[in-house]
Amino acid sequence: MENIWIFLVVIYALLKGGRECMKKAALKKSAANEILFLYTFIGFLMTLPFTKSALEIDGIYIFSAFVKAALCGTAWIFSLLALKQMSVSLYSVLDLGRMIFSTAFGVILLREDFTLPKLIGVVLVITGLLLVNLKKNSTSAKTNLFAVIAVLLNCLFNALSGILDKVIMRSIEPAQLQFWFMFFLSAIYGAALLLRKEKISFKTIRTNYWIPLMSVSLIVGDLLIFRANAAPQSQVTLMTLIKQSSVIVSVLSGWLIFKEKNILYKLMCAAIVILGAIIPLIFR
């Protein structure tokens, strides 16, 4: 049972891949910011049964959850700024920086070993993701230095959030972290919408059923990844690689649901990514 965390991360990755496809489907009916706030807020409502337990933790951990939410919210802002000034395909390639940052932080801050199998895994995962993203169709867009910096800052803050998970989960329960994280994240997204004077209609939930489905996926996935972080044997460097297996869901759903082309090529790329995630687990 000591390796159950690997199974938890795999399920998290599959849910994450499915959620990305749900977002794409949801965008056909609703605006991006409305979707982001609604599915986060619904997720918070789903954590309300954890309220009593969440109120019992020390203030330092509540503050840590706020920092985590602030990191994720800031990363979201930078990702939007970057996407406005560069093609989606270029953004997807640069977003690989998230994995590099996470691996580096795991080694430097958490003192995890960076072995040869892990190096091979990182190279294979980056290669597979690069190949699948470079094959995507993209519209030409002028890219400036600010946009590149913005996407790299998005990667940096997301990686820091992942490191914080590992640190916080040494002291509190997953449900306690999830309650405060969803509370603060909903508040941040809600405040951003108020500042931008964007309207939100809760009636959207009835017509865009993808939103509540995304909320369920988010809550279940986060609980799993928090539990994986709580396992003493888990390592950020390994979890980072395993998470990339979400690409297999994205590729298959893109083919089956959105009728995307080049499926054999993309499956080959996904296989390279999966191989990169498996090698470090076999040769630990």
Is 140's pLDDT higher than 60?
no
Reported as a pLDDT band with limits 50, 70 and 90, residue 275 is very high
Q: What is the mean pLDDT of residues 9-37?
A: 86
Question: Is the confidence at residue 137, as pLDDT, over 60?
Answer: no
Residue 8, pLDDT > 70, answer yes
Averaged confidence pLDDT in the chain: 87
The DSSP letter of residue 49 is G
pLDDT higher than threshold 60 for residue 139: no
Which DSSP category does 104 fall into?
Answer: H
| Separation of alpha carbons 113 and 105, rounded Å | 11
Whole-angstrom Cα Rg for the chain: 18
Distance CA 53, CA 8 (A): 23
**Phi and psi, residue 158, nearest 5°:** -65, -40
Percent of the chain with pLDDT over 70: 93
